[in-house]
Amino acid sequence: MKNRAWFFLIPTLFLVSISAFIPLMTVINYSIHYIFAGSMPTFVGLENYAEVLADPAFRGALGRQLVLSTLILAVEIPLGIAIALALPRKGWQMALCLVLLGIPLLIPFNVVGIIWRLFTQSDIGPLPELLAMFGYNFNVALDAFDAPATIFLLDVWHWTPLAALLSFAGLQAIPDAYYQAAEIDGASAWKTFRYVTLPKLKPVLILAVLLRFMDSFKIYAEPLLLTGGGPGSSTTFLSLHVARKAQSYDLGYAGAVSIIYLFIVIVFCYLFFQIITHLGKGEEG
């Protein structure tokens, strides 16, 4: 009977092997070779990894990436839950809100970059003008704080709706009986949220956190279009760093960065997944 499960998984495994497994093996293969545009690859073992880890450009990109992803999670998930709680729970208002929330998600990454360039560029966008009224001299192209701050704002703008939609789905799945019981027990609004809503939202929040973490680690087109990774390297996040190396045909280095990168994301997601699934066990009811 159990072998039947594998039978059902054949299409998945087939597609995943050509869209993920084989390419990944190729990348691992690159990472242990010295390859440079067209020359014959030579086996170098872990040398590429050592080179990456010692590279200040990589460390800088990783550091910026960690700060960005942490901020994104810290803001988008709570904000998403708050929005989900405020959404109407039925009728046309709900449908309208879902459609409105869905729209930013459907904007291609590079169009998001373009929108924000139109919005924040000095001399064509309203944001610098607005901030100038408050005496702040905003310049996304030249200021090493404004540029990453804009990327952060852009990401919150683009992806908070995802957290909101997922949280809303979770909220909708909580039976009313739980709230009635909490009300009868005289639980405060906060306690109801803490002991009824939050534990019940756990499965969707796990998905939201995992998706936001791994996707924020992949941020690429937005900084590329907004500032091209600059000024300096203030918006060169990991993906941009990898892509640059790969495009300059430094395949060994690019492969090694990629594997390290993947390792970091998997370890974080795995730990998070394990901790959160075991942690809340007692609270679920």
Partner 1 sequence: MRKRSIALIVYFVLLFIPIYWMVITSLKTDNEILKELTFFPKEITFKHYMEIFTSEVWRNSFINSLTYVFLNVIMTLVAAIPGAYAFSRWNFRGSHHLFFWLLTNRMAPAAVFMIPFTELYYILHIYDTVWAVALAHCLINIPLAIWILEGFMSGIPREIDETAFIDGYSFPRFFRKIFLPLIGPGIGVTAFFCFTFSWVELILAQALTVTNAKPVVVTLTVGIGAEGVKWGLLAAAGFLTIIPGAVVVYFVRNYMAKGFALGRV
Which residue number, 148 or 255, has a Cβ lying nearer to partner 1?
Answer: 255
Q: Say how many residues touch partner 1, by CB under 8 A.
A: 90
Q: Cβ–Cβ contacts within 10 Å for residue 146, how many? A: 22
Taking only Cα atoms into account, the Rg of the chain, rounded to an integer number of angstroms, comes to 23
Which residue number, 42 or 93, has a Cβ lying nearer to partner 1?
Answer: 93
Binding mask 214-233 toward partner 1 (x if CB under 8 A, else -) reads: x--xx-xx---x--------
Does residue 78 touch partner 1 according to CB under 8 A? no
CB of 42 to partner 1, least distance (A): 18
Does residue 285 touch partner 1 according to CB under 8 A? no
Does residue 260 touch partner 1 according to CB under 8 A? no
List, as own/partner pairs, every contact residues 113-121 make where C-beta atoms lie below 8 angstroms and the sequence separation is at least 24, other chains included.
113/154, 113/221, 113/222, 113/223, 113/224, 113/225, 113/226, 114/225, 116/150, 116/154, 116/157, 116/222, 116/226, 117/225, 117/226, 120/150, 120/226
Does residue 67 touch partner 1 according to CB under 8 A? no
Q: Cβ–Cβ contacts within 10 Å for residue 65, how many? A: 22
Binding mask 29-58 toward partner 1 (x if CB under 8 A, else -) reads: -x----------------------------
Those residues whose C-beta lies under 8 Å from the C-beta of residue 172, and which sit 6 or more positions away, are 89
Does residue 142 touch partner 1 according to CB under 8 A? no
Does residue 278 touch partner 1 according to CB under 8 A? no
User: Which 150-189 positions form the footprint of partner 1 (CB under 8 A)?
Assistant: 157, 161, 165-166, 168-170, 172-173
